[in-house]
Structure 1
Amino acid sequence: MATKKQSALTARVGETKRSAAVGADRRRGWNALRRIAAQITTPLLPDDYLQLANPLWSARELRGRVLEVRRETVDSATLVIRPGWGFDFDYRAGQYIGIGLLVDGRWRWRSYSLTSPPVSGARTISITVKAMPEGFLSSHLVDGVARGTIVRLAAPQGQFVLPEPAPASVLFVTAGSGITPVMAMLRTLARRGALHDVVHLHSAPTAAESLFADELAALARAHPGYRLVLRATRDQGRLQLRGTEALDDAVPDWRDRQAWACGPSELLADAERVWAAGGIADQLHVERFTLTRAGAAAAGGTVTFAASGRSVVADAATTLLEAGESAGVAMPFGCRIGICHTCVVTLVAGQVRDLRSGEDHEPGARIQTCVCAAAGDCELDA
């Protein structure tokens, strides 16, 4: 998983059009000097010279330098990153960022929750990554990134955040790496002295494999208003939310709390059914790290990318974004799970299907390539 979408910079695979750094348009004096310098330094741009001095000095794209890779568990690590010029530290706890890493000559992008709390005057951010068997980039970030590595960044985004001020009583339900956005929330509440009435149900295979286990325990000791209920699923089995029994036992007043849940798709689907059945669906906020491919029943087809003239045959379970990447077509994307709408393109011809709902889209529709697959031959304006 990774995590979990409106104000993102466009993230692209490969050597593609670069995004301007956040805030570049607001510094008119700086930009005026850059325009003058550009006339003097043509054909190179001032950024080209600045990057020779420091790779983080770029107004054309957000960058960061990996300062530390800190092991959390046997298959996870926290990356501490110092963003370059233009990064906006005024994000909200629970949001995520896009990170691009150059591997074997190709820029690979994924999105990960920020685990660092937003702090005025901060100079670093952190993400915590769990290596997934099918995740090439996550494994590389956990096991293969050296200190000093330069990465590309997309601006923080996402709506899985606590309101301001935080609710009087809160319930967190997390499992595995689903704890990462909630960890930023907990750290933020602790910094503000606002851990007053928070119950946290968290599942992990064992206590040793639980992300942030020592820090969570320390928070529980230091803040009487924070109650942690850790479930070791290898011995106790998974937390079942198909009915209300588990919640009633662990959190008798769960119906009165605002809840934030992040974890495997099955857990979140069960939670949504329980909260909806109780008539309190508006009190549950969920964050998904993976795409639930519910509509993969079509036959697939040949996907043609009009701008590049390339085509590729894709099955019904392969997203159009994944199909394009396999053919070397660079398309915009952000979250990769259908939330941020960064990947929207126009369907020129044919038919595609939304893997989440099974809905079919006809020519002329604006579609999300990260959650749609071919339902026959189709053509995109990408």
Structure 2
Amino acid sequence: MVDWRQRFEAPARAASANSAAAQWVRAAVSRVTTPLLPDDYLHLIDPLWSARELRGRIVSITPTTDDSATIVIKPGWGFSFDYIAGQYIGIGVPVDGRWTWRSYSLTSDPDTSRGDKTVAITVKALPEGFLSTHLVNGLEPGTVVRLAAPAGEFVLPEPLPEKVLLVTAGSGVTPIMSMLRTMARRGRHGDVVLVHSAPSADNVMFGDELAELADRGVMTLHLRYTGSDGRLTPEGLAALVPDWADRQTWACGPGGFLDMLTGAYEKAGHPDRLHIERFALERGSHGAQGGTVTFGTRDKSIEVDGATTLLEAGEKAGVQMPYGCRMGICQTCVVMLDKGCVRDLRTGVEHVEGERIQTCVCAAAGDCTLDV
């Protein structure tokens, strides 16, 4: 039998594993509070103390632009601040009586986080983004949230390459911001170029700080305003950074933007020099047709469209589903596909019965049954 509780508590266990002291205290508390759970007592002392999950408290929400805000979080017991600039964190927020999860890049630099014991994310409210809009406009300081440990491979190497190019669009600048802040704090002034695209000057997240970092020599800054200059193209990139193909490049932004860069580096014969971070699913871009999703062990079914992930389908049907990052990275949501066909919303690849699938990035391509 699957131990669902154990699976849901995995993010907290993974984060707390770095602290031997935390593990010892948790074990001791578990023994003295049996048969009740440690949390039955710990939450009476401090709501951030939990033996089962990572928690945090919202410290502040500060507008960055008209539709974005920086959210500072004070994590509780068991959280490890040994993250790397460029990584993301999972955040679960209670909305209308249920916990809703998304992952966002950390914009704080690790050195500052270890000092003041807080982390920061910067969120852009998207028209289709239910949770992002709530985080920017509906969240209040003092709210207790759930957290998943920092993760992700979109990080700079040590030591830095001789020449670095950072190419971002919109909220894609958020993981880069953590990198730049870390470089500035550590006094690293190398050959680093940032090319950032935004609709206008008013839409540039961290606009004043980016200009200040450029003035301090942390990087060379090129801003492109797509409302007047048009979208960035390979030719436009070459005009701004003539040696772009010779640089190790980190890029983040919308799917079409990253596809353009991928094609440019492949054409130049240097695809290995491009490192990308994709934020969200390009929902429906590969034409998943939807269908009836059946959760075999729960005897529940639900009709969904081709843009609804199997994880979301399960949650709508009232089925407890394992999950972690909700971005197709951490593998926590993997289940067996018993019948039918599903499609990966990121790549369009189809999976058939007998395969293990990621429910957070796959949608029904016709009727299907999951071993859940």
Q: Deviation digits for residues 306-326 of structure 1, max 9, x if unmatched?
A: 232210112233221222222
Q: TM-score, normalised by structure 1?
A: 0.90
Change (3 A) 1:82 1:197: same
8 A Cα contact 1:98 1:110, kept in partner: yes
- Distance of aligned partners of 1:104 and 1:194 in 2 relative to their CA distance in 1, 3 Å threshold: same
Q: 1:45 aligns with which of 28, 31, 37?
A: 37
Residue of structure 2 equivalent to 1:90 = 82
RMSD: 2.0
Secondary structure, counterpart of 2:223 in structure 1: strand
Distance in 2, matches of 1:281 and 1:237, equals: 25
Residue 226 of structure 1 pairs with residue 219 of structure 2? yes
**Residue number among 167, 173, 180 corresponding to 1:173 in the alignment:** 167
Aligned partner of 1:8 in structure 2 is none
1:154 aligns with 2:148: yes
1:222 alignment partner AA: R
User: 1:49 deviation in Å?
Assistant: 1.2
| Corresponding residue for residue 143 of structure 1 | 137
Task: Say if 1:296 and 1:358, in contact at 8 Å, map to a contact too.
Answer: yes
- Structure 1 residues 261, 298: CA separation in 2 closer, same or farther (over 3 Å shift)? closer
Aligned ranges for residues 331-370 of structure 1 at < 5 Å? Answer: 331-370=321-360
Q: Deviations over 1:259-286 (max 9, x none)?
A: 0111111110010000011111000001
Deviations 1:180-225 (A, max 9, x none): 00000101111111131111000111112210001001101111x5
Map 1:3-14 → 2, pairs under 5 A: none
The 5 Å alignment of 1:251-270 reads: 251-270=241-260
Change in Cα spacing, 1:134 to 1:52, as seen in structure 2 (3 Å) is same
Bigger mean CA deviation after superposition, 288-297 or 89-98: 288-297
The more displaced of 367-376 and 91-100 is: 367-376
Tell me the residue number matched to 1:108: 100
SS at match of 2:194: strand
Q: 2:197 aligns with which of 178, 203, 207?
A: 203
Structure 1: state its 5+ residue gaps: 1-11
Equivalent residue number for residue 287 of structure 1: 277
Q: Which amino acid aligns with 2:41?
A: Y
Decide whether the 8 Å contact of 2:284 with 2:307 is kept in 1. Answer: no
Give yes or no for contact 1:89–1:122 (8 Å, CA) kept in 2. Answer: no
Q: Is residue 225 of structure 2 the alignment partner of residue 235 of structure 1?
A: no
Segments of 4+ moved more than 4 angstroms: none
Identify which of structures 1 and 2 has the higher relative contact order when contacts are C-alpha pairs closer than 8 Å and 6+ apart.
Answer: 1
Q: Is the 8 A contact 2:123 2:136 kept in 1?
A: yes
Q: Relative to 1, partners in 2 of residues 1:76 and 1:322: Cα closer, same or farther, differing over 3 Å?
A: same
- Rounded to whole Å, the distance in 2 between the matches of 1:297 and 1:372 is 12
Amino acid in the other structure paired with 2:190: H
Q: Partners in 2 of 1:355 and 1:17 — Cα distance? A: 24
Give the equivalent residue in structure 2 for 1:3: none
The separation in 2 between residues aligned to 1:353 and 1:54, in whole angstroms, is 43
Quick one: distance in 1 between partners of 2:231 and 2:288? 33
2:256 is aligned with what amino acid? E
State the secondary structure of the residue aligned to 2:148: strand
For the pair 1:131 / 2:125, whether they are aligned, the reply is: yes
% identical equivalent positions: 60
Relative distance call for 1:147 and 1:217 in structure 2 (3 A) is same
* Matched letter for residue 100 of structure 1: G
Kept in 2, the 8 Å contact 1:295–1:354? The answer is no
Query: In the TM superposition, what whole-angstrom CA distance separates every residue of 1:101-134 from its partner, at most 9, and x where no partner exists?
Result: 1111111111100000112444000000000111
Q: Secondary structure of the residue that 1:127 maps to in structure 2? A: strand
Q: SS where residue 332 of structure 1 aligns?
A: coil
Q: Distance in 2 between matches of 1:251 and 1:116?
A: 27
**CA–CA distance in structure 2, aligned partners of residues 139 and 294 of structure 1:** 21
Which residue identity is paired with 1:97?
I
Separation in 2 of the partners of 1:185 and 1:234? 27
Q: CA deviation at 1:298?
A: 5.0
Shift of residue 336, structure 1, vs aligned partner: 3.0
1:164 maps to 158
Equivalent-residue separation in structure 1 for 2:28 and 2:324 (angstroms): 32
107-116 vs 289-298, greater mean Cα deviation? 289-298
1:118 match: 110
C-alpha deviation, 1:342, in angstroms: 2.3
1:31: Cα distance to partner?
3.5
In structure 2, relative to structure 1, the CA distance for the partners of 1:295 and 1:210 (3 Å cut) is: closer
The 1-side partners of 2:165 and 2:351 are apart by 38
Structure 2 equivalent of residue 191 of structure 1 = 185
Instruction: State how far apart, in whole Å, the 2-side matches of 1:178 and 1:226 are.
Output: 17
CA distance in 2, matches of 1:131, 1:375: 30
Displacement after TM superposition at 1:294 (Å): 6.6
Equivalent pair of 2:312/2:360 in contact (CA under 8 Å): yes
Q: CA deviation at 1:293?
A: 4.5
**Does 2:303 match 1:303?**
no
Give the gaps of 5 or more residues in structure 2. Answer: none
